[in-house]
Chains A and B, each alone.
Chain A
Amino acid sequence: MFSKVFKILHHPQINTPYSLEDILKTDAKVDFLVIEGALSRSEKILSRFGYSFKDILDILSKKAKYIICAGSCASFGGIFRLQNEAKIFGALFSGKEKGGFWFNNSKVINISGCPMHPRWFVETLLKLHYGDKLSLDEYRRPKEVYSYLVHHGCLRNEYFEWKVDCKDYGEKEGCLFYEHGCQGPMTHANCNKILWNSVSSKTRVGSACFGCTEFDFPRLALYETKKHMSLPSAPYGISKRAYYSLAGVAKGFKIERLEKRLIDENN
């Protein structure tokens, strides 16, 4: 479907019909400019093919109808912003703050994630192509993807509900939210709905969600759960009072089934 609808004019790595110079020189308009990687206005930090990246973007952004920021680096600055936070940023945001390479640019759509899921990208482009409605959240991310939380569809949900911690890595049981840094309940993405590579996800193989679609990725101490007064933060959009009251009640019960192995072959 993708290859029937879209024509890739240029890609730096794969075998495409036009060179970057062809695209820079032409007067023709393009539908999409896709940006990968953190941006900088400094020629010393970022140049490509003998041009400063700023010059390349100034030219290409005018030709494009939409600018798609593919991934968290292009959206927020991501990991590489940490090298020089003053000079490296995303297209519209520097971390949480508005103002990256551009302060305002209504053409920009962010598809954050490290990496971005290919379906998020393709489906966004298809919507724009067909003129279907595309609602964006406050970080200019498609709502259809980023209204979900990674927590939705996690196979360990029951352990979360009953506050059963994961005892060690490499087991099917237990929730990684309490001690192992899982950000699933506060990370916007539909990973556990559509799955990765169509087959799995981080939490399905017993690793934590590290919040890679959010502006603060990568947090410090990724494998630890940050706590205040020995309590983890409340899930996204749930008040502390609601969450801690419910958690307290759930924790008060010992659910025998959830203390056992999921597949108990001896019993």
Chain B
Amino acid sequence: MKITKEIIQKIEGEATLELEWENNKIDYAKIKFLNFRGIEKILENRPFLDALLITPRVCGICNTSHIIASINAIENAYVNMGIKIDITKKAKRIREFALNAEKIQNHIKWLYFSILPEILKINGEDESSIRAFEGKEWIKSQKACATILKAMSIFTGQWPHGSFCMVGGVTCDPTQGDIYESMRYIEEVEEFCEKEIFGLSLDEFISFETSIQIKSTNGNLKKILEVLVDKNLNHMGKSYDRFISFGNNSSLKNPKKCEATRVLNADINYVGESLLNSFFEPNGYTYSKSAIYKNRYYETGPIARMMIIKNPLIRDLHKRNKDSILTRIIARISEIAHLILKSKNLLKKIDIYQKSCISPNIPYDSLTSVGVGYCEAARGSLIHKVEIKQGIIKSYDIITPTVWNLGNGSRENPAVAQKAIMGLTSPNDADLVFKAFDVCAVCTTQ
């Protein structure tokens, strides 16, 4: 048996894939995340509000998701102590809007940094148009990312690392003019997406029910679909065909899971963390923990969200290709359109005359409780758990989307991405399958 090491480049952070080959096929894959930063430990013995500032630093690209998961965990701790937390619709909408904007720029960056270069390479095309800082398409995509972040920063103050969430709401108090300005920026990004990614209006795109309809469009989405189908890669990268999404937003209120096509309720209390193969156990080889639901692996992320809300286009792709890279990639790209339209709608509904924040009227140091908070980050469900004693953090636990998708199981019971990689015949295929998950190593090794 041959063992090869592939360092996965061009992802956020660093990961190594150790591939074991048998008869020219990948027999087993170990996914190694080798840098550890210890944010959970750093949080111990600090006042609990410090988590709002420190947890976003887990990730430069998903920091808003962390502040949202963190505030949800803290507010849940108040509720568990019997203290009512009232959050106005205005504050809820601002939080969701910010989270959406962050997801949009994440997906666009992944598309232009990680996936398009691979697709062009596979298709033998010149990739100079998406070369960083030079390529015309690359520059346009960057401008769209900067613009969506402006739309968001009007409410969050800045990106990355805005500190706009507070117990009981948000810190900002926008004027109507601020909302118009934010809308102007979103419309610019919408235009970019229509022209470059989808090749038609977003309203038309979200009405698609079959993947054949994509063939009539003219954008990067169509290109990716065609290259993957032409090169027979559309069935590659299948895993368990099991999905999970905890929701907590206007598209998905409550946790759900999806077994192939059947959607069922899920319960956060069944989420566990496996330390198998991690450095926290003997013979471990990675800093990544693995997230499990009732001892089983589930995939999280846009594909999971789309399968759970029964999006017709993704359901159609799934019918033909199951949970392959094709469905996974198209789901992530499609979500951009949905997020933009949802965000415009959220903005329109913000009533500036509602209160932004209703602070609970008790001193911080009287809080002794535990809380769980979650939200949907770009790469999937993000969970924070906090234990507070007299206002001080006793323990903090973060379960990121990447530990759902890219954990390490065993040969008999591999984790989601491991299963997707096993059986492939080339390191390049493994690299593409890996990237389709939108790997984020820094999230994993917080």
A218→B50 contact, CB < 8 A:
yes
Q: Is B37 an interface residue (CB 8 A)?
A: yes
Q: Is A26 an interface residue (CB 8 A)?
A: no
Q: Can you name the residue of chain A whose Cβ is closest to the Cβ of B135?
A: A15
A210→B53 contact, CB < 8 A:
yes
Distance in angstroms between the alpha carbons of A168 and B54 in the assembled complex? 22
A1-25 residues with Cβ-Cβ distance < 8 A to B are 2-3, 6, 8, 11-17, 19
A201→B158 contact, CB < 8 A:
yes
A14, A49, A82, A202: the one contacting B157 at CB < 8 Å is A202
A114→B356 contact, CB < 8 A:
no
Contact segment of A27-35, A133-141, A219-227:
A219-227
B153→A170 contact, CB < 8 A:
no
Q: Is A205 an interface residue (CB 8 A)?
A: yes
A200→B154 contact, CB < 8 A:
yes
List residues of chain B with CB within 8 A of the CB of A3.
133-134, 139
Distance in angstroms between the alpha carbons of A205 and B46 in the assembled complex? 25
List residues of chain B with CB within 8 A of the CB of A2.
133
B158→A197 contact, CB < 8 A:
yes
A221→B172 contact, CB < 8 A:
no
B5, B47, B57: the one contacting A223 at CB < 8 Å is B47
Q: Contacts A48-B14, A170-B172, A218-B53 given: A79-B153 contact, CB under 8 Å?
A: no
A200→B158 contact, CB < 8 A:
yes
Distance in angstroms between the alpha carbons of A171 and B57 in the assembled complex? 26
B357→A199 contact, CB < 8 A:
no
Q: Is A193 an interface residue (CB 8 A)?
A: no
B153→A115 contact, CB < 8 A:
no
| Most chain A CB neighbours (cut-off 10 Å) among B34, B149, B157 | B157
Q: Is B164 an interface residue (CB 8 A)?
A: yes
A45, A199, A222: the one contacting B53 at CB < 8 Å is A222
Distance in angstroms between the alpha carbons of A207 and B161 in the assembled complex? 12
A221→B46 contact, CB < 8 A:
yes
Distance in angstroms between the alpha carbons of A129 and B355 in the assembled complex? 49
Q: Is B131 an interface residue (CB 8 A)?
A: yes
Q: Is B146 an interface residue (CB 8 A)?
A: yes
A79→B157 contact, CB < 8 A:
no
B54→A169 contact, CB < 8 A:
no
| Most chain A CB neighbours (cut-off 10 Å) among B9, B47, B175 | B9
A79→B166 contact, CB < 8 A:
no
List residues of chain A with CB within 8 A of the CB of B38.
80, 83
Q: Is B271 an interface residue (CB 8 A)?
A: no
Q: Is B243 an interface residue (CB 8 A)?
A: no
List residues of chain A with CB within 8 A of the CB of B198.
none
Q: Can you name the residue of chain B whose Cβ is closest to the Cβ of A21?
A: B7
| Most chain B CB neighbours (cut-off 10 Å) among A202, A205, A208 | A205
Distance in angstroms between the alpha carbons of A2 and B69 in the assembled complex? 36
Q: Can you name the residue of chain B whose Cβ is closest to the Cβ of A197?
A: B153
List residues of chain A with CB within 8 A of the CB of B172.
170, 205-207
B163→A202 contact, CB < 8 A:
yes
Q: Is B39 an interface residue (CB 8 A)?
A: yes
Q: Is B171 an interface residue (CB 8 A)?
A: yes
Q: Is B72 an interface residue (CB 8 A)?
A: no
Q: Is B162 an interface residue (CB 8 A)?
A: yes
Q: Is the interface of A mostly helix, strand, loop or mixed?
A: loop
List residues of chain B with CB within 8 A of the CB of A220.
46-47, 50
A209-242 residues with Cβ-Cβ distance < 8 A to B are 210, 212, 218, 220-224
Q: Can you name the residue of chain A whose Cβ is closest to the Cβ of B155?
A: A205
Distance in angstroms between the alpha carbons of A171 and B91 in the assembled complex? 12
A15, A46, A115: the one contacting B113 at CB < 8 Å is A15
Distance in angstroms between the alpha carbons of A83 and B150 in the assembled complex? 33
List residues of chain A with CB within 8 A of the CB of B356.
169-171, 206
List residues of chain B with CB within 8 A of the CB of A79.
39, 42, 54, 57
Q: Can you name the residue of chain B whose Cβ is closest to the Cβ of A173?
A: B173
B127→A15 contact, CB < 8 A:
yes
CB of A172 to closest CB in B, whole Å: 5
List residues of chain B with CB within 8 A of the CB of A115.
60, 160-161
CB of B37 to closest CB in A, whole Å: 5
Q: Is A54 an interface residue (CB 8 A)?
A: no
A14, A49, A169: the one contacting B169 at CB < 8 Å is A169
Q: Can you name the residue of chain B whose Cβ is closest to the Cβ of A72?
A: B57
CB of A167 to closest CB in B, whole Å: 10
List residues of chain A with CB within 8 A of the CB of B34.
47
B50→A170 contact, CB < 8 A:
no
Q: Beyond A203-B157, A207-B164, A223-B47, list 8 extra A-B contacts (CB 8 Å).
A: A168-B359, A169-B357, A170-B357, A197-B146, A201-B158, A205-B172, A210-B163, A218-B50
Interface residues of B (CB under 8 A from A): 5, 7, 9-12, 14, 16, 34-39, 41-42, 46-47, 49-50, 52-54, 57, 60, 91, 113, 117, 127, 130-134, 138-139, 146, 149-150, 152-164, 166, 168-173, 175, 181, 355-357, 359
21 contacts between A and B (CB under 8 A): A12-B14, A13-B12, A15-B132, A48-B35, A50-B16, A114-B161, A168-B357, A169-B170, A170-B169, A171-B173, A172-B173, A197-B146, A197-B150, A199-B154, A202-B158, A202-B163, A205-B155, A206-B172, A210-B53, A220-B47, A220-B50
Interface residues of A (CB under 8 A from B): 2-3, 6, 8, 11-17, 19, 45-50, 79-80, 82-83, 114-115, 168-172, 196-208, 210, 212, 218, 220-224, 263
